[in-house]
Amino acid sequence: MKDPVFESERRLNLKKLSRDRKLKKVAANFMVGSIRGRYSYNFDWLGRPIIQYPQDIIALQEIIWKVKPDLIIETGIARGGSLIFSASMLELIGGNGRVLGVDIDIRSHNRIEIEKHRMFKRIKMIEGSSIDAKVIARVKGLTRGKKKILVYLDSSHTSAHVLQELELYSRFVSRGSYIIVFDTIVEYLPTGMVKDRPWGKGNNPATAVREFLKKHKNFVADRDIENKLLITAAPGGFLRRVR
């Protein structure tokens, strides 16, 4: 049972943090410097590289514990650390929760390591584009019978691709759950910082989120999460389904 006095203190603290411009500037400067230093590449989850900011991992842990999803869908697998993280959280919750990972290219050495991990018993992977009609049909089939579904989007970061993902995968998200869009931070980085990529300022996950929220009033950006984190790769990207 939550302590009402402590919870009230936390709400007040969050309000103060949300208005602290100096602290937010420090956090923004840290994000720029840490991205240049490939900071997020340095962390593992249960032995697999997770390639996420520790602060975002903590936020995901809180969301998973609160929502208690039957299914977590992730687009973008990379080295598999996020799949392992999600599976381990579902293992702690108990029950039959599963994780579904979708990636256009699941490299054989990563697949081998994921499949031999003790958490693989809760994981299924689909190789193919996250927006391909055949892939979506397979995903839809795996959502049948699932009451609570949580989604992470972390594949290609062009605005067009992410917006299409949002349109396709938001339909699976249950009320009270989230679709989390990573790397919205790209929009807030200095001009020219993102090189050799088809995305950048004006064309990235954040611009996709803005377009999506204009049309989909059943989702809102949960700003309390980023106000708490201060350091996040997903500012404005924690989208909660409210109806």
Mean pLDDT of 25-48: 97
Return all residues near 27 (Cβ < 8 A) that are at least 6 apart: 230, 231
Q: How far apart are CA 142 and CA 99, in angstroms?
A: 10
DSSP of 110-121, one letter per residue? HHHHHHTSGGGG
149 forms beta bridges with 71
Pairing of strands 98-103, 71-75: parallel
pLDDT in tens, 94-103: 999 999 999 9
Residue 91 has pLDDT above 90, yes or no: yes
Q: Are 101 and 134 in contact (CB under 8 A)?
A: no
| Domain made up of 4-241: CATH architecture | 3-Layer(aba) Sandwich (3.40)
E strand or H helix at 127, and its extent? strand 123-127
Position 190 scores a pLDDT of 94
Mean pLDDT of 65-78: 98
Q: How far apart are CA 183 and CA 231, in angstroms?
A: 12
Q: How far apart are CA 92 and CA 237, in angstroms?
A: 26
Return all residues near 88 (Cβ < 8 A) that are at least 6 apart: 45, 46, 119
pLDDT in tens, 174-196: 999 999 999 999 999 998 898 88
How many residues would you count in the chain?
A: 243
CA dihedral 127, 128, 130, 131 (to 10 degrees): -160
Q: How far apart are CA 226 and CA 119, in angstroms?
A: 29
Position 1 scores a pLDDT of 80
Mean pLDDT for the chain overall: 97
Q: Are 211 and 163 in contact (CB under 8 A)?
A: yes
- Positive or negative torsion for Cα 228, 232, 236, 239: negative
- Number of helices and strands in the chain (H, E): 9, 9
Position 236 scores a pLDDT of 98
pLDDT in tens, 207-237: 999 999 999 999 999 999 999 999 999 999 9
Residue 2 has pLDDT above 90, yes or no: no
User: Nearest to residue 123, comparing CAs of 59, 72, 50, 184?
Assistant: 72
Position 92 scores a pLDDT of 98
Q: Are 92 and 115 in contact (CB under 8 A)?
A: no
- Positive or negative torsion for Cα 128, 78, 100, 206: negative
Confidence of residue 110 (pLDDT cuts 50, 70, 90): very high
Task: Please report, for the chain, the start and end positions of each structural domain, with discontinuous segments joined by +.
Answer: 4-241
pLDDT cut 90: percent of the chain above it: 97
CB-count burial class (<10 Å; 0-12, 13-18, 19+) for 205: buried
